[in-house]
Structure 1
Amino acid sequence: MKKHKKFVAYANGPSLAEINGTVEIPKNHSFWRNILAFSGPGALVAVGYMDPGNWITSIGGGAQYGYLLLSVVLISSLIAMLLQYMASKLGIVTGLDLAQATRQHTGKKLGFVLWIVTELAIMATDIAEVIGGAIALNLLFGIPLVWGVILTVFDVLLLLLLMKLGFRKIEAIVITLIIVIMVVFGYEVAISNPNIADMLKGFVPQKEVFSRSQLMMALGIVGATVMPHNLYLHSSIAQTRRYDRQDEDDVARAVRFSTWDSNIQLTVAFIINTLLLVLGAAMFFGRGDGLGTFNSLYDALQDNKIAGAVASPLLSTLFAVALLASGQNSTITGTLSGQIVMEGFINLKVPTWARRLITRGLSVIPVLVAAIYYHGKEGGLDDVMIKSQVFLSIALPISMIPLVYFTSSEKIMGKRFKNSKLIALLGWISAIVLTGLNIKLIIDMF
């Protein structure tokens, strides 16, 4: 057994200590048994790539520009796979999540500033997810938006119950909800009769993507895809598997199968985002340019003048069910991310239930204020959700740049696990390009 010398123990213990190293993995090296054992964390990460923010941009992109922006969805997904690979590798190899690693390599004052910005980014992420869940409850059951926002607080109680039953239960419910979303949109796309030739052509980048109006929507899709909280989340939950952290070969096996898990689940997220854009293109292109809110999309799916012959209340109801599933999934992972960041940056140790209520409550308050302020105004909460994505653009470099730097460092990762020159180059290009595109998005919006 070759001893792994680069494992770093965090002074205050691992993040999510109650679930760290709790999931057994097989001792033998059967490929499929290992895939099954390591499957799960990737699903929680993939949720962030199919949250309500992605819905608006993907369906809106299809409604306005047909299949043109499918290439943007593809490229964004490939970048996501690269960054999530780095995040999981950082956690598995060093024993540190991204928040802990960042805090350990920065001064106290800078670390505090980075924590504040990252906490605000998680709140911005949660805003879109809470809004999506509240709107879904309103569409399905007529529950007022204010009460729908309040009801999302109880997601924390569900999460606490699942944590008592084991982390695998959380993974199972998230995977189930992902399947619900994929089945719903798979069905809706199938009956919408998309143009297969145009769809395949859309995966090849076209020069029209760089036209001003199309570029704005493309940047929106990219900005809604790569989110800061996913990098913190993955670097922590990748450590839930019980591997020998002092055995270099066992660490390498964990990295390998964690990467398989992540790429498989992100491929599912790519399929769902593709379905969203194809649905927008097949049903609404040329007749649904004004579709900018969840309510308008819900109404359009049962409007024969917009969705055509396939329009029906069933389609709109399924849309709302999938939206609720997306909101529920994302709120679970958002709460976990809040805990990881709080523990990693400031070592705040409070009871588990209190910590989860704090992280959840901080996110719900601004949404609740917005729901009261925009009461009765069409699209008010949707507008708040879109603005929250702008702040995510600002916060993105704070997580991406340290991640690429840490995983490219031989001192931190060791010679065997540091990024290869090609991976490091792709990582820096992705970080610089995404940061630049998001800055441009902010400038264009204002």
Structure 2
Amino acid sequence: ELPSPNSLARPTHSPLAHASSAPMASRDLAESLLPGGGASASSSHDEYEERAYDSDDKVSISISDSEPDDDGDPGAARARPAFSWRKLWRFTGPGFLMCIGFLDPGNLEGDLQAGAAAGYQLLWLLLWATVMGALVQLLSARLGVVTGKHLAELCREEYPPWATRALWVMTELALVGADIQEVIGSAIAIKILSGGIVPLWGGVVITAFDCFIFLFLENYGVRKLEAFFGVLIATMAISFAIMFGETKPSGKELLIGLVVPKLSSKTIKQAVGIVGCIIMPHNVFLHSALVQSRKIDTKKKSRVQEAVYYYNIESILALIVSFFINICVTTVFAKGFYGSDKADNIGLENAGQYLQEKYGTALFPVLYIWAIGLLASGQSSTITGTYAGQFVMGGFLNLRLKKWLRAVITRSFAIIPTMIVALFFDTEDPTMDVLNESLNVLQSIQIPFALIPLITLVSSEQLMGSFVVGPITKLGTHSCIHSIFSNFGRFSTSFFV
């Protein structure tokens, strides 16, 4: 387990405690005497740090004149203002970018594998994995709002260099694994929509350039980027809802699957994959940075409290949408392929063709509906993966690079291994399914390396002040970590024995 930030005796970085902080020179001297302090001392200067968003890029949150103010007093008691739809709209965006991590092609692979292999039996696990994911993402947003820094930055500042480098390597591994699935998913969709004219490797090349779409949209403002993702999420929701409506899965079995827990030894791999593809390690780092896209006066407790409140609502709404989409995909394949001879070899690359054979008609080209949803999933997740990669690299290593160069570097980490996969594996090769399932399991292995720093930091009263999490929340998060380790241990036993 990583050392606690408190054990390193670091000075607080909480915006609510800056008024009582030591002078900069004294703090630098104190840090230079700590183990690894010299490396973090330079990073304590904000002017030399890589920030998630520039001040000019942030979205303003209008404050009504009728709302009481705490005049900058961090300890001032203040009742939460009346709920405002207009203000919720101003905060809406980061949660929907975050929920893309619950909808990437790796998730679709996990959904269809779970449906085909276990029918409706793993829906309860999908539900509780989403609940666990929501808890983790709310803590991530809370950390980012209260401290004004994202998780990768805080890990660099609070942990010694060896731990920081180890966390960075593990997070990059998780990012590469997720990005391989995302790029392959987009490439498969492009191949389907082009009628097979564009080969898999050609789709990878096309997808490689989507990081420049991200840069183009980002130059026009955060809200434009968020609107673009809103369109992609709506495309997924409509596509998979149409499939759900046309295939008509059993409502009774759906409800039983959500309520009654069942897990057989034959579906352990799919179960671990569900957890791994729902709770994405890089998504934890991403969300803590996304919430900083709004202008929040972090010196005022009331404003921080308000931001946490609205971000919680927005994130929960976004995850409800993602859960609906995942349910649609799982139940469609449970209805169509559970217990059939195709259940063992179905995957992203042949799922559309199998759906077309079973349900497709001239008026219902399910193959192309599936491909459109898959393309929206792949494109949205590859762009957010690039986004997350920038925050992870900039936060852990404190690199000050131009946005286009940093995007190219982070994109190269995933495109190179993905191109190798595309060149050596054909879409008809069942090895591709094994690879996708293994990558989902890889995500499950990497989860604790994001959760342990997160729960350690949000539990630090020195860092979080009055926004430190309570014992119930800590217990719930520790239970999540324990269940993930237990599931992985059970999977390993069943796999190797």
Q: Same fold (TM over 0.5)?
A: yes
Whether 1:321 aligns to 2:321 is no
Whether 1:436 aligns to 2:486 is yes
Q: Deviations over 1:310-351 (max 9, x none)?
A: 797611110011000000000111001111111111111111
Q: Which residue of 1 aligns with 2:102?
A: 49
Paired residue type of 2:51: S
Q: Residues 193-212 of structure 1: matches in 2 within 5 Å?
A: 193-206=248-261, 209-212=262-265
Q: Residues 180-191 of structure 1: matches in 2 within 5 Å?
A: 180-191=235-246
Paired residue type of 1:292: I
Say if 2:272 and 2:441, in contact at 8 Å, map to a contact too: no
Whether 1:426 aligns to 2:476 is yes
Which stretches of structure 1, 4 residues or longer, exceed 4 Å deviation after superposition? 6-10, 309-313
Q: 1:188 to 1:258 in 2, by over 3 A?
A: same
Q: 1:15 to 1:128 in 2, by over 3 A?
A: farther
Q: Deviation at 1:289?
A: 1.4
Q: Which residue of 1 aligns with 2:16?
A: 4
Whether 1:15 aligns to 2:66 is no
Gaps of 5+ in 2: 1-14, 22-42, 65-80
Q: Which residue of 1 aligns with 2:222?
A: 167
Q: 1:6 to 1:330 in 2, by over 3 A?
A: farther
From 343, 351, 359, the counterpart of 1:289 = 343
Task: Indicate the structure (1 or 2) with the bigger Cα radius of gyration.
Answer: 2
Q: Deviations over 1:257-279 (max 9, x none)?
A: 11111111011111111111111
CA–CA separation in structure 2 for the residues paired with 1:390 and 1:220:
5
Whether 1:406 aligns to 2:457 is yes
Q: Deviations over 1:273-317 (max 9, x none)?
A: 11111111222223241343222211111113xx4x879761111
Q: Which residue of 2 aligns with 1:388?
A: 439
Q: 1:373 to 1:216 in 2, by over 3 A?
A: closer
Q: Deviation at 1:444?
A: 3.8
What is the percent sequence identity of the aligned residues?
Answer: 33
Say if 1:390 and 1:442, in contact at 8 Å, map to a contact too: no
Q: Which residue of 2 aligns with 1:26?
A: 62
Paired residue type of 1:395: Q
CA–CA separation in structure 2 for the residues paired with 1:283 and 1:349:
51
Q: 1:311 to 1:223 in 2, by over 3 A?
A: farther
CA–CA separation in structure 2 for the residues paired with 1:153 and 1:440:
37
Paired residue type of 1:5: A
Q: Which residue of 1 aligns with 2:34?
A: none
Say if 2:141 and 2:288, in contact at 8 Å, map to a contact too: yes
Which secondary structure does the structure 1 equivalent of 2:61 belong to?
coil
CA–CA separation in structure 2 for the residues paired with 1:401 and 1:330:
24
Q: Which residue of 2 aligns with 1:230?
A: 283
Say if 2:268 and 2:491, in contact at 8 Å, map to a contact too: no
Moved more, 286-295 or 74-83: 286-295
Paired residue type of 2:221: G
Q: 1:173 to 1:231 in 2, by over 3 A?
A: same
Say if 1:126 and 1:334, in contact at 8 Å, map to a contact too: yes
CA–CA separation in structure 2 for the residues paired with 1:443 and 1:148:
37
Q: Deviations over 1:198-257 (max 9, x none)?
A: 111111133xx2321133322221111101010000000111111111111001111111
Say if 1:74 and 1:203, in contact at 8 Å, map to a contact too: yes
Paired residue type of 2:213: L
From 107, 118, 125, the counterpart of 1:72 = 125
Q: Deviations over 1:169-191 (max 9, x none)?
A: 11111111111111111111111
CA–CA separation in structure 2 for the residues paired with 1:102 and 1:254:
23
Which secondary structure does the structure 1 equivalent of 2:259 belong to?
coil
CA–CA separation in structure 2 for the residues paired with 1:292 and 1:36:
40
Say if 2:167 and 2:449, in contact at 8 Å, map to a contact too: yes
CA–CA separation in structure 2 for the residues paired with 1:435 and 1:24:
41
Moved more, 366-375 or 280-289: 280-289
From 294, 319, 332, the counterpart of 1:241 = 294
CA–CA separation in structure 2 for the residues paired with 1:390 and 1:310:
36
Paired residue type of 2:371: A
* RMSD value, Cα: 2.1
Q: Residues 275-314 of structure 1: matches in 2 within 5 Å?
A: 275-287=328-340, 288-304=342-358, 307=359, 314=365
Paired residue type of 1:22: K
Aligned length: 438
Whether 1:334 aligns to 2:380 is no
